[in-house]
């Protein structure tokens, strides 16, 4: 522990020394300012950041507008102290602009994960298993109907969903995943064996392994590989993944279809309120006030946004983007109100329910990915 802290301190000291060597005070005693005396980047930094000479001329009309705005807020007569210019030698930009630079860095960082995404999006899903194997841990299903036990899914890109029996605490009960080649199921040993739980909080061995074998904390190859998990509200599923609690982070990353939906056609808090009210009559004060204002000003409230957005749950998102029938959600009540005996008694139906959510998530992601790339 002492050695680790010492290494961190030495590393930080080295970075500070490097920065100090790269940073020098500007030689000019006159800082660069704009037309309203606000200090700007030094000429040296400006040339590096914008790849051009500084141009600070503002036409008279715009300058008057700026000055009036500053006066309105009591800022025109404030005297701001000038700080010494800093001339810092920056790395060469990876592109024409600073925006291009950071886009290039981001592309380089995610290129392995984009390859995994393309494999998932472009490949048709394998057929759903007709029967799910009642065995603890991970099971891999082949297209010919055969299956085998595995330590964790072999492919690096997966669509994933976890189900939790509420009465059992914060333990994962079952999960399904699909890659471009195989379906997988994971079953808690508490489903298979009627065991007593001593606590509501799980240990590592109770969680779902996605990169390591049972009882191990390193991958079989000894090196973490880039992996990708896609899910809807995937932060929930992530909380039940064993490796996410390792002190040393892995290269597993998570992509959330709910967040993608919100970014493309999500709703504000007030829109969600109106959306829910339009489905069932609402007497909430905010909804009534909104309707009264529309009538008072004799204007029709546009309903267009309701046709191109939805609530964030998987069922609504699936119907909006894929145009499919509502997902079967009756089995969800077993996880909310049922017991482990109910799970064992309805094992096949509950596994199929979980797998259908994975299938729907894959369809949603396939629809959203191209639109997300266009916008962002």
**For residue 225, what is the DSSP state?**
-
The per-residue b/e assignment along 286-316, b for 16 or more CB within 10 angstroms, e otherwise, is: ebeeeeeeeeeeeeeeeeeeeeebbbbebbb
**For residue 212, what is the DSSP state?**
S
Q: Please, are residues 336 and 166 in contact by the beta-carbon 8 Å criterion?
A: yes
Task: Residue 157: name the closest of 25, 248, 253, 91 by CA.
Answer: 253
Catalytic annotation present for 119? no
- SS3 (DSSP) at 22: helix
Task: Residue 236: name the closest of 350, 322, 154, 314 by CA.
Answer: 314
Q: Which residues contact 31 (CB under 8 A, 6 or more apart)?
A: 39, 40, 42, 82, 83, 84, 85
Task: Residue 193: name the closest of 131, 134, 148, 152 by CA.
Answer: 134
Give me the catalytic one of 85, 119, 161, 206: 161
Rg for the chain, CA atoms, rounded? 28
25's enclosing H/E stretch is: strand 23-25
The per-residue b/e assignment along 128-142, b for 16 or more CB within 10 angstroms, e otherwise, is: bbeebbeeebbbbbe
Cα–Cα dist 174/165, whole Å: 9
Residues designated as active site: 161
């Amino acid at each position: 522990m002492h050695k680790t802290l010492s290494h961190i301190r030495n590393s930080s000291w080295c970075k500070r020394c490097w920065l100090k060597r790269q940073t020098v005070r500007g030689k000019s005693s006159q800082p660069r300012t704009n037309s309203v005396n606000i200090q700007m980047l030094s000429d040296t930094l400006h040339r590096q950041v914008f790849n051009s000479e500084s141009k600070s001329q503002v036409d008279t009309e715009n300058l008057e507008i700026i000055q009036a705005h500053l006066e309105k807020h009591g800022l025109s007569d404030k005297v701001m102290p000038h700080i010494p210019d800093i001339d810092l030698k920056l790395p060469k930009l990876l592109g024409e602009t600073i925006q291009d630079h950071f886009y290039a860095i981001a592309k380089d960082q995610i290129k392995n994960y984009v390859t995994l995404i393309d494999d998932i999006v472009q490949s048709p899903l394998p057929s759903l298993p007709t029967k799910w194997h009642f065995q603890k841990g991970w099971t891999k299903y082949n297209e010919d109907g055969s299956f085998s036990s595995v330590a964790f899914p072999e492919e690096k890109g997966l669509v994933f969903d976890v189900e939790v029996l509420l009465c059992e605490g914060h333990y994962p009960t079952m999960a399904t995943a699909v890659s471009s080649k195989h379906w997988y199921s994971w079953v808690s040993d508490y489903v298979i064996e009627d065991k007593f739980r001593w606590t509501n909080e799980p240990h590592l061995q109770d969680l779902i392994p996605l990169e390591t074998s049972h009882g191990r904390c390193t991958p079989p190859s000894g090196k973490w590989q880039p992996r990708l998990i896609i899910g809807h509200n995937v932060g929930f599923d992530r909380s039940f993944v064993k490796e996410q609690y390792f002190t040393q982070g892995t290269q597993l990353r998570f992509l959330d279809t709910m967040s993608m939906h919100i970014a493309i056609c999500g709703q504000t808090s007030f829109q969600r309120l109106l959306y829910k009210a339009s489905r069932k009559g609402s007497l909430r004060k905010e909804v009534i006030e909104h309707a009264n204002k529309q009538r008072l000003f004799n204007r029709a409230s546009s309903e267009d946004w309701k046709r191109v957005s939805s609530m964030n749950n998987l069922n609504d998102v699936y119907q909006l983007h894929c145009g499919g029938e509502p997902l079967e959600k009756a089995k969800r009540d077993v996880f909310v109100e049922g017991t482990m005996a109910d799970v064992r008694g309805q094992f096949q139906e509950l596994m199929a329910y979980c797998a259908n959510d994975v299938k729907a998530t894959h369809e949603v992601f396939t629809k959203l990915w191209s639109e997300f790339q266009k916008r962002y």
